[in-house]
Structure 1
Amino acid sequence: MLRFLLHYGIHILVPIGIALAFYPSQRIRAALILLAGFLLDVDHLWADPVFDPDRCSIGFHVLHSYIAIALYTALLFSKKLRIIGLACLVHMAADAVDCLFILNAA
């Protein structure tokens, strides 16, 4: 239960918190962009099985690869793309926390 709450808490509450704290004048737009980081999970559709609760997404799926994470980090250096990079990295952080639970269960 803690794993579920942390994973989806980071996916949902952290983007909303970032939008409120750092983009107060555009909080709705910022929150929607940050929440759109969920779209990175489209790469799960290419996996077999599509959902495996014991699989760490980081390093397994294309949009969760280390190269992709480096690209998301590079987006932080562009003022126009920063929020998209942040959305992607928040998503990676949520999935990384999930991976820690998987490693500790083994």
Structure 2
Amino acid sequence: MELEVRPVLHLLLHVAVPLTVARIWYRERWFRAWLWMLAGWLIDIDHVLADPVYAPGRCSIGFHPLHTAPAILAYGLLCLPRRTRLLGLGLLIHIGLDAIDCLMMR
């Protein structure tokens, strides 16, 4: 079984980018900030609506309901109040990484 680099790198970045952001901008409470940003992975619950659930060559952006423009706008709005900022940031990081993955597939 051959292991593809792109999907593995994509998953690693979903952990590493929020960690890096947390360590740089939320030094005093980096672990808690990282966990809140990792919660951005929750939007992948919309993948269960697709058939097949996982398709390595499918771009999530615009395909899954929680990966569409209205949802992305809502994630941006979550960044405004301090109380939801970390979750909103995690969601936007998630979408950004998914968008990069889509570009890499082309």
Settle same-fold status: TM greater than 0.5. Answer: yes
Q: Which residue of 1 aligns with 2:59?
A: 56
5+ residue gaps, structure 1, are none
How many angstroms apart in 2 are the aligned matches of 1:102 and 1:61? 17
Root mean square deviation, CA, Å: 1.3
Which secondary structure state, in structure 1, belongs to the residue aligned with residue 83 of structure 2? coil
Contact 1:75 1:85 in 2 (8 A): yes
Q: Which residue of 2 aligns with 1:4?
A: 7
CA displacement at 1:43 relative to structure 2? 0.5
Which secondary structure state, in structure 1, belongs to the residue aligned with residue 54 of structure 2? coil
Deviation per CA, 1:62-83, whole angstroms, max 9, x where unpaired? 1111110011111121111111
Q: Which residue of 1 aligns with 2:84?
A: 81
Amino acid at match of 1:84: L
Q: Which residue of 2 aligns with 1:34?
A: 37
How many angstroms apart in 2 are the aligned matches of 1:76 and 1:35? 15
Q: Which residue of 1 aligns with 2:26?
A: 23
Q: Using the aligned pairs only, state the percent identity.
A: 45
Amino acid at match of 2:6: R
5+ residue gaps, structure 2, are none
Amino acid at match of 1:22: W
Which secondary structure state, in structure 1, belongs to the residue aligned with residue 11 of structure 2? helix
Amino acid at match of 2:29: Q
How many angstroms apart in 2 are the aligned matches of 1:80 and 1:4? 32
Tell me the number of residue pairs that the alignment of Structure 1 and Structure 2 aligns.
103
Output the TM-score relative to the length of structure 2.
0.89
Amino acid at match of 1:34: M
CA displacement at 1:29 relative to structure 2? 0.8
Contact 2:7 2:56 in 1 (8 A): no
